[in-house]
Amino acid sequence: MDGLSRRKMLIAGGALGALGALGAASPARAAAPARALPDWSWSPTGSVAGSGAGTDPHWEWDEQADPVLAAVIGRGDVPMVNDLLRSWTRNDQPLPDGLPRDLRDFMETARQLPSWADQDKLNTAAHFNDTKGIYTGALYGLGSGLMSCAIPHEARAVYYSKGGANMKDRIAKTAKLGYDVGSLDAYQPQGEMIVTAVKTRMVHAAVRHLLQQSPGWTGTSGDQKIPISQADILITWHSLPTFVMRKMLEWGVQITPDDSAAYLHVWQVTAHMLGVRDEYVPATWDAANAQSKQLLDPVLGPTSEGVELAGVLLGLVAELDGGLTRPLISAFSRYTLGDQIGDWIGLDQEPFWEPVISEAWPLLVAFREGLIPFPLGAEAAWTVEEVVRQFVLSFLSDGQNINITIPDANRTF
């Protein structure tokens, strides 16, 4: 990949794509009206569990994690717990001594892979992420990451969370989730994805508890009384693998049935490890697309918080080359997300770059997939790819010494 290591692409691709998982934010303006929650009719027969109560996930949260983290916060144990968990990094490591008993019991249960996890599929998914990293990296960062700015619940929740005060630090922490989920040993003993997922699940529970005490969040949450519901996690989930797979197929990326199933599987396992009930985790891509249409599509829309968040994300591009990079990135994101979402999140119109990308990117994909010889207009095509690559690299971290910590307060203003 022309000097761009697989590790770096995965880290950076996940950095924005997983943005909502840990929370990032920007200064907000006046809140836009909240929308009504969409009706729920998706059947649990389409889930990995194959059955379930069929309850609406908009009104379900995390009954295992939530009371435990509320108690940890209430006792003032957060600093001590964060200090102890700093050294817990590998899947096969025992939990550190000294953790509160209720938290230890929860974590020992939460770290167990589901019985339906298939290590062969997880290994195949790692190889797929390795070979298709240019596409997944671009789509996580310039598709999913910016799409999160058009998800109102997500934009508002991340704004008021503690992590929103430091965007660069927050992106570094979300980068770890993005790297670990695509690493070759993600769910093997020597990997780190189980640890990352459990810590992320605990962060969600802490934010869920704390934001109910935030006047800013309660004033903009509309009909949502508790943040980060099962539906909210699923919405973010669909903005990642469901969206990415759909776009890769639209682009003509060559994906075998085994690779397709494996890519879905690693994200199914990840959803479970983040606390999503199995009855909500889609069993097939058809089921995922049907659920996405019911959950994700109806909630997309503009908010002042989302516009500000997108502005901060694109503002980081100025660290690369403000003259070329930001216009091209805005154009590529419009190409990926469409003009409506682009307008909702305040992306600039780029009359020069938009037609260039719409012509050059399909040629570049076809060349990479071995469908055509070196494309005409190669200079434009490689310019687009290089800027996309450099944007991904701008969120670079080596995936080490990144400590996901539990918050004990909301963002201060």
pLDDT tens-place string over residues 23-36? 333 333 334 445 56
Q: Give burial (CB, 10 Å; 0-12/13-18/19+) of 125.
A: buried
- Residue 171: predicted pLDDT: 60
Dist CA 310 CA 326 (whole Å): 12
Domain limits for position 183:
1-26+58-401
**By mean pLDDT, which of 27-41, 194-208, 270-284 is the weakest?**
27-41
Q: Is residue 37 part of a domain?
A: no
pLDDT-based confidence at residue 13 (cuts at 50, 70, 90): very low
Query: How many percent of the chain have pLDDT more than 90?
Result: 56
Q: Is residue 138 part of a domain?
A: yes
Q: Is residue 374 part of a domain?
A: yes
- Residue 184: predicted pLDDT: 82
The predicted model gives 384-405 an average pLDDT of 61
Task: Look at 305 and 11; give whichever has higher pLDDT.
Answer: 305
Q: Is residue 34 part of a domain?
A: no
Dist CA 94 CA 301 (whole Å): 44
- Residue 391: predicted pLDDT: 58
Residue 65's nearest CA partner among 114, 29, 102 is 102
- Residue 5: predicted pLDDT: 42
Count of Cβ atoms closer than 10 Å to residue 34 Cβ? 15
- Residue 6: predicted pLDDT: 41
Count of Cβ atoms closer than 10 Å to residue 155 Cβ? 28
Q: Is residue 282 part of a domain?
A: yes
For residue 374, pLDDT over 70 is answered with no
Q: How far is CA 346 from CA 221, 314, 339, 340, in A?
A: 22, 10, 10, 10
Q: Is residue 33 part of a domain?
A: no
Dist CA 413 CA 411 (whole Å): 7
Q: Is residue 362 part of a domain?
A: yes
Residue 198 tokens read as: 């459990």
Give the mean pLDDT of the chain.
Answer: 84
The predicted model gives 88-106 an average pLDDT of 97
DSSP label at residue 47: B
- Residue 26: predicted pLDDT: 32
Number of domains making up the chain: 1
